Amino acid sequence: MTERELKLLQQMAREYPTVQAASAEIINLTAILNLPKGTEHFMSDIHGEHEAFLHILNNGSGAVAEKIQSALGDSLTLSERRSLAALIYYPKEKLREVKRAETDMEDWYRVTLKRLISVCRQCTTKYSRSKVRKALPREYAYIMEEMLNTGGTPNKERYYDHIIRAIVDTGSADTMIEEMATLIKRMTVDELHIVGDIFDRGPHADVILDHLMTHHHVDVQWGNHDVLWMGAAAGSPVCVATAVKNCVQYDNLDMLENSYGINLLPLAVFSTERYGDARVFAPRKLPEEPFKPRDTELYSRMHKAISVIMYKLEGQLVHRRREYGMEDRDMMSRVNWGAGTINIDGTDYPLRDTDFPTVYPNDPTKLSEEEAALMEQLCAAFMHSEKLQAHARFLCSAGSLYLKRNGNLLFHGCVPCNRDGSFMEFEVGKAVTLSGKAYFDYADRLARQGLLAPEGSEEREEGRDYLWYLWCGRNSPVFGRDHIATFERALIEDKATWKEPKNHYYSYTDEEEFCRKILHSFGCDKPWSRIVNGHVPVKAKEGESPLKGHGRLVVIDGGFCRAYQSQTGIAGYTMFFNSLGMRLAAHEPFTSIEDAVKNGRDITSHTFNVDELSHRVMVADIDTGEEIQSRIDDLMKLLEAFRDGIIKVDQAKAKQR
């Protein structure tokens, strides 16, 4: 035994000072290894659609309804099951609705509490009592544990009925219902994976992040829209300009102004003073809320003003970071300002708008004094927004560029590849190139550097610029395209120029051997191992399957965002992985929380198997099991050290036992 091993065992002996204590823990841990694994829930490309996200989070992609069916079977009508499900999803809102309609609340409470207890029991059966106990609210832990473990004999049933009566008589029923609903949802889904793109397009990414920050076990694999906002929170001018532009274009100003406290009045004033006709930059969507201006001309001018600033800042960045190999994306320097045209691949295209009073033809990427002052104000606002900074820190701590979890590999975009399917190499220093997993690890570190390195340092500047590269850079692993055609879509009529060629990765995803190569290179070699992707919406209405490479790759971007649903034909895919296998759920559009509460209207979901396993997956088979087994091995060494006299048993504590 080395000196280091001895010190580690001595530290462990403080926690387990006797043979009996160490033995008991080994027995407990061994028992846990032989429980079924918990359910993992996978979601991606939420894009600010907070109501649909919250509903699917609450219903576990239909898993909660399945628990109700398993626990109560046909003892309830379909209407009663839907009503109970709505209560679990939205307990506060449903209780208000019930109190308006119900005449005998005491009887309703007794019946409902018994039903919820049955569902709670169904949800907790595959977990250890210790894990369930930790999930219980402190004030009601004893009562809830008694109810979960009571029943089966006449004496216990009487005891159980008196507990429920006491809950109702003391006025605690509402609180108990809310706590049980929380427990059911928590026990139904053990882990939540968000495979990228929380931000942009939909109205309230901030609401989604607020909920994720309170979740008991969540991780995020960054999408390109997420790293954009991380860059904006870090104070990158080009990321700030792009984030503001996206908000103006998709009417996310409520989130920007009211949630994050970003004052857009200076942008509105500047755009009104400097720009006239800006119809080409008409936003995709105007506000629907009352008491909000619906002035198309104002929004168009704001969109144009911030777009021009963004084009300039992009041009500056690609020349500052020549290692990105993107100087051709300095679109402002490619314009013939006298003729009002731009040359792309040898063809001159007329610009749809030639009124650019802030552009200096001899130095087209230079900001005017007013533009520079505006960006200084906006960057300061982003960096001083407490809520945005909290969200960015959460994305940094709970997020990563990729995740290996329980044999599966999760990432948002792609593993950049060459035409022949080999992993693309990226220069990251003098005579240093990286590809595949090594490049992902490098990119992950550099992205964090943009947020965490000291302000004003070279490392911070490099990381901030790299966050922009991840957002839209050539063959970025979370973008996966040659370029983003924002300029072309806004200013060139010919749609042939709007194309954004995908990385060659996407031409190989239907090949099982290619998918297995990626899984193996990241160390994912379980029989059930899958790549879980988002980013590129699956066109289900055209017959495209979310399963690629004979099921080795699953794309779960199915149009969660309303902006994509006309392309996909559905309202998103989600996936769950439990001890019996993997299933994919295809969802129909969500109506509203009010409809769900009042009418029991759930999201209609159609599920199908991705992989039905021949053997049930136990805790011993997953990452947690490896950690537990390592702990058991250490405890066995401690037992051996006790018995050999290398470490002395604490006799005082041994006598107490």
Higher pLDDT, 425 or 147: 425
Per-residue confidence (pLDDT) for residue 453, from 0 to 100: 94
Q: Is 13 within the bounds of a domain?
A: yes
Token look-up 């610029």 returns 465
Q: Is 481 within the bounds of a domain?
A: yes
Tell me what percent of the residues of the chain surpass a pLDDT of 70. 94
Per-residue confidence (pLDDT) for residue 151, from 0 to 100: 60
Q: Is 127 within the bounds of a domain?
A: yes
Q: Is 611 within the bounds of a domain?
A: no
Question: What's the burial of 652, exposed, middle or buried (CB within 10 Å: 0-12/13-18/19+)?
Answer: exposed
Residues 216, 319 within the same domain: yes
- Residue 648 in this model has a pLDDT that exceeds 60: yes
Higher pLDDT, 505 or 146: 505
Higher pLDDT, 580 or 443: 443
Q: What is the mean pLDDT of residues 337-362?
A: 94
**How far apart are alpha carbons 335 and 618 in whole angstroms?**
61
Q: Which of 434, 466, 491 is the last residue of a domain?
A: 491
Averaged pLDDT score across all residues of the chain: 90
Least confident of 107-111, 135-139, 570-574: 570-574
- Residue 190 in this model has a pLDDT that exceeds 80: yes
Chain segment 474-532, per-residue pLDDT in tens: 999 999 999 999 999 999 999 999 999 999 999 999 999 999 999 999 999 999 999 99
Q: Which of 466, 491, 516 is the last residue of a domain?
A: 491
Residues 184, 234 within the same domain: no
Per-residue confidence (pLDDT) for residue 562, from 0 to 100: 73
Task: Assess contact for 119 and 75: CB atoms under 8 A.
Answer: no
Q: Which residues of 271-307 are buried (b: 16+ CB within 10 A; e: fewer)?
A: beebbeebebbebeeebeeeeeeeeeeebbbbbbbbb
Q: Is 447 within the bounds of a domain?
A: yes
- Residue 255 in this model has a pLDDT that exceeds 60: yes
Q: What is the mean pLDDT of residues 452-476?
A: 95
- Residue 150 in this model has a pLDDT that exceeds 70: no
φ, ψ dihedrals at 417, nearest 5°: -130, 160
Tell me what percent of the residues of the chain surpass a pLDDT of 90. 62
Grade residue 565 by pLDDT with cuts at 50, 70 and 90.
Answer: confident
Q: Is 45 within the bounds of a domain?
A: no
**How far apart are alpha carbons 224 and 247 in whole angstroms?**
15
Q: Is 165 within the bounds of a domain?
A: yes
Residues 132, 229 within the same domain: no
Per-residue confidence (pLDDT) for residue 603, from 0 to 100: 62
Residues 148, 123 within the same domain: yes
DSSP 8-state symbol, 502? B
**547-548 and 605-612: which strand pairing?**
unpaired
Residues 184, 220 within the same domain: no
Residues 349, 254 within the same domain: yes
Grade residue 602 by pLDDT with cuts at 50, 70 and 90.
Answer: low
DSSP 8-state symbol, 222? P
- Domain, as residue range, for 651: 3-35+621-656
Grade residue 294 by pLDDT with cuts at 50, 70 and 90.
Answer: low
- Residue 287 in this model has a pLDDT that exceeds 70: no
Residues 297, 424 within the same domain: yes
φ, ψ dihedrals at 538, nearest 5°: -85, 125
- Residue 398 in this model has a pLDDT that exceeds 80: yes
Residues 185, 209 within the same domain: no
Question: What's the burial of 395, exposed, middle or buried (CB within 10 Å: 0-12/13-18/19+)?
Answer: buried
**How far apart are alpha carbons 411 and 403 in whole angstroms?**
7
Residues 362, 483 within the same domain: yes
Q: Is 590 within the bounds of a domain?
A: no
φ, ψ dihedrals at 509, nearest 5°: -65, -15
Residues 219, 182 within the same domain: no
Q: What is the mean pLDDT of residues 467-477?
A: 96
Residues 6+ apart with CB under 8 A from 313: 237, 238, 241, 365, 367, 375
Helix (H, G, I), strand (E, B) or coil at 405: strand
Residues 313, 374 within the same domain: yes
- Residue 656 in this model has a pLDDT that exceeds 60: no
Per-residue confidence (pLDDT) for residue 296, from 0 to 100: 83
Give the total number of structural domains in the chain. Answer: 3
Per-residue confidence (pLDDT) for residue 60, from 0 to 100: 84
Minimal CA–CA distance to 42: which of 401, 405, 390, 398? 405
Q: What is the DSSP string of 551-615?
A: TTEEE--S--SHHHHHHHSSS-EEEEEETTEEEEEEEPPP--HHHHHHH--PPPEEEEEEEE-SS
Residues 182, 209 within the same domain: no
φ, ψ dihedrals at 498, nearest 5°: -85, -10
Per-residue confidence (pLDDT) for residue 56, from 0 to 100: 85
Q: Which of 189, 219, 240 is the last residue of a domain?
A: 189
Neighbour count for residue 339 (Cβ, 10 Å):
11
Amino acid at 365: T
DSSP 8-state symbol, 403? E
Per-residue confidence (pLDDT) for residue 160, from 0 to 100: 82
Model's pTM, two decimal places? Answer: 0.91
- Residue 589 in this model has a pLDDT that exceeds 60: yes
